[in-house]
């Protein structure tokens, strides 16, 4: 069965420090991978996505993620965190449709706190 694991429930970093949020997935075929961010009480905002091609994906707000098939990972990175990055981050895999995806399966989320 498809699944997404985000091992870190809560991460705290200092403003200006680098960030890496981990995501591992389980999926039999070529995955469609996503990172979303959610501020308290808000909906989801897509940060970036991987469908195919270059395994290093650039997103909005200075985020990037690298797809590593051998490790079944899609970790999110940012070189310098801003206080406004404090939020909940969700990794997701799209599954269930040949040549595309139907369902989105979400990880449990990682809550990021940023210290000034």
Partner 1 sequence: GAVVSQHPSWVICKSGTSVKIECRSLDFQATTMFWYRQFPKQSLMLMATSNEGSKATYEQGVEKDKFLINHASLTLSTLTVTSAHPEDSSFYICSARDDVTFPYEQYFGPGTRLTVT
Q: Interface with partner 1 by CB under 8 A: which residues?
A: 32, 36, 41-44, 46, 49, 51, 90, 94, 97, 99-109, 111
- Answer yes or no: are the C-beta atoms of 107 and 88 closer than 8 Å: no
Nearest-angstrom CA–CA distance, 28 and 22: 20
- Answer yes or no: are the C-beta atoms of 106 and 91 closer than 8 Å: yes
Nearest-angstrom CA–CA distance, 116 and 111: 16
- Considering beta carbons, is residue 38 or 72 the nearer one to partner 1? 38
- Considering beta carbons, is residue 10 or 115 the nearer one to partner 1? 10
Closest contact distance (angstroms) between CB of 13 and partner 1 is 19
Closest contact distance (angstroms) between CB of 79 and partner 1 is 26
Rg (CA), the chain: 14
Closest contact distance (angstroms) between CB of 98 and partner 1 is 11
- Considering beta carbons, is residue 57 or 105 the nearer one to partner 1? 105
Q: Report H helices in the chain.
A: none
């Amino acid at each position: 069965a498809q699944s997404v694991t985000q091992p870190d429930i809560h991460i705290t970093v200092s403003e200006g420090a680098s960030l890496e949020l981990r995501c591992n997935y389980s999926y039999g075929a070529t995955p469609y991978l996503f990172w979303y961010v959610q501020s308290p009480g808000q909906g989801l905002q897509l940060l970036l996505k991987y469908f195919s091609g270059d395994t290093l994906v650039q997103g909005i707000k200075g985020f990037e993620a690298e797809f590593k098939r051998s490790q079944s990972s899609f970790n999110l990175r940012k070189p310098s965190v801003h206080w406004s990055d404090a939020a909940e981050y969700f990794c997701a895999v799209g599954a269930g449709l040949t040549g595309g995806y139907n369902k989105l399966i979400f990880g449990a989320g990682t809550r990021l706190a940023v210290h000034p």
